[in-house]
Amino acid sequence: MNQAIILYDGNCTLCRRTMKTLKCLDVFNHLKPINVLSADATSVIKSLNLKLEDLLFDMHIIEGSRSWKGYQAYQRISLHVALLWILVPLLYFPPIKFIGERIYRRIADSRTCQVGSLKVNP
């Protein structure tokens, strides 16, 4: 299985903590976290025609030429991390999916992060 790229806001404490947790759980190294504010992200962002503002607003996962964001990104991540496979049916189950999307949005919208002198509050 090819590595899936996770694009995250490296200035966000919550995002960095989430990436550390996923790195610990990803025993088969299927995920490649990339800070969207790093030079490594530039070519990925351009090749997929993504906007930095969107990447700072929601976490994204890239698999080949396809991308998912927000709660859907977490669903995709669960498919790559063997220790999370037990959660896959739950994450895709309609009532859980509905609740999960709302919880993700609430958390993502309530975080505040600094990008240089620009304050991002999605």
Q: Does 117 score more than 50 pLDDT?
A: no
Are 54 and 69 spatial neighbours (Cβ–Cβ below 8 Å)? yes
pLDDT per position as a tens digit, 30-84: 999 999 999 888 888 888 888 888 998 899 999 988 999 999 999 999 999 999 9
The C-alpha atoms of residue 10 and residue 47 are separated, in whole angstroms, by 20
pLDDT of 29: 95
Specify whether the backbone of 112 is left (phi greater than 0), alpha (psi in -120 to 50) or beta: beta
